Amino acid sequence: MATEGNEQSLQLEDENYYYRRISNESFFLRKDFGMLPKSASVDLTGSRALMGTGRVTGGRLLFRTNHGDVAPPTEKFGIFIPPFSIYSSVSDFERTELALLMTSNPELMVMSDVPKLFKTSLENFRGTAEQCDQLIEEMLSENTRVFLNESSSMAKSIKSVIDSEYSEIGNITNLAQRFELENWELSRIFKQSYGISPLKYLNKLRTIEAVYRLIRDGRKSKVIDVAFNVGFRDLSRFNKQFKSCVRFIPKNLWVKKD
């Protein structure tokens, strides 16, 4: 597989698919159709677990999911898993993040990250809806089993502290000292279980909470106050983290919402 930026490419039957990892259990998927008009709408897939629409932006088709009924699949695009169908298999943090991603990136869609089954799903997309649903269930249960088996009690304790005290944790060094660990030990233990560093998890958790507060309070809220209240002590760092997570800067949040 070749890379394109942060993306991995997968070629099947002379067609290119691109995906990039967002967590242990999910990634974004898009397909490069080559020369396309600058804007267009495309209906995809059918059945409960195989729903979606796509639109062309800048000559590339970007997928999204929806909850409506669409025509049975007629093209070999692949299996697209709606975020709501994987909620039961991911952590509370990832559910929150998936909901945020649906809001901030409606043109992108989320897929379960099991490369072997992903490739199989693409190759066998013309199969029945029942077979596709079964494949998805196998995919999700395998993810869940691996995820749970790798979660150590120490990692769970670390995560519990971050979840409950994210706005008060000064830095990762303080967190490591609390568990009588070196920084590298803390990072290794946490990342082995959750596929993300404790610092990145902490910052994403803070950012997601900031987004919800800004949306909840509307234009009356002050970005700097929200940033400090969720644990950021540097506004420029908050702005950078915010843009990295939701793809636009805080002051544009209400423009996106409207």
From 54-58, 170-174, 246-250, the region with the lowest mean pLDDT: 54-58
What share of the chain has pLDDT > 70, as a percent? Answer: 34
Q: Which of 12, 49, 13 is nearest to 127 (CA)?
A: 49
Which pLDDT belongs to residue 82?
A: 36
Give, in order, the Cα–Cα distances in Å from 130 to each of 16, 52, 133: 26, 17, 5
Burial of 149 (0-12, 13-18, 19+ CB in 10 A): exposed
Between 184 and 133, where is the model more confident? 184
For every residue of 32-65, which 3-state class applies, written as one string? ECCCCCCEEEEEECCCCCCCEEEEEECCEEEEEC
245 vs 170: which has the higher pLDDT: 170
Query: Which is more confident, 21 or 48?
Result: 21
pLDDT confidence of residue 213 = 77
Highest mean pLDDT among 55-59, 70-74, 156-160: 156-160
pLDDT at 138 exceeding the cut of 70: no
pLDDT at 212 over 50: yes
Bigger pLDDT: 254 vs 122: 254
pLDDT, mean of residues 57-84: 32
In this structure, which long-range contacts are made by residues 28-33, counting pairs with CB atoms below 8 Å and at least 24 apart in sequence? 28/105, 28/108, 28/109, 28/110, 28/111, 29/63, 29/78, 29/80, 29/109, 29/111, 30/60, 30/61, 30/62, 30/63, 30/108, 31/61, 31/63, 31/77, 31/78, 32/60, 32/61, 33/60, 33/61
> Dihedral angle at the C-alpha atoms of 201, 202, 205, 209, nearest 10 degrees?
-170
Please state, rounded to an integer, the average pLDDT across all residues of the chain.
Answer: 56
* Residue 92: per-residue pLDDT: 54
| pLDDT reported for residue 242 | 78
The more confident residue out of 186 and 99 is 186
44 strand-pairing partners: 52
Distance CA 150, CA 144 (A): 10
Give per-residue pLDDT as tens, 20-29.
Answer: 444 433 344 4
Show the domains of the chain with their CATH numbers: 3-149 (no CATH), 153-257 (1.10.10.60)
Confidence label for 236 from pLDDT (cuts 50, 70 and 90): confident
Q: In the prediction, which pLDDT does 96 show?
A: 52
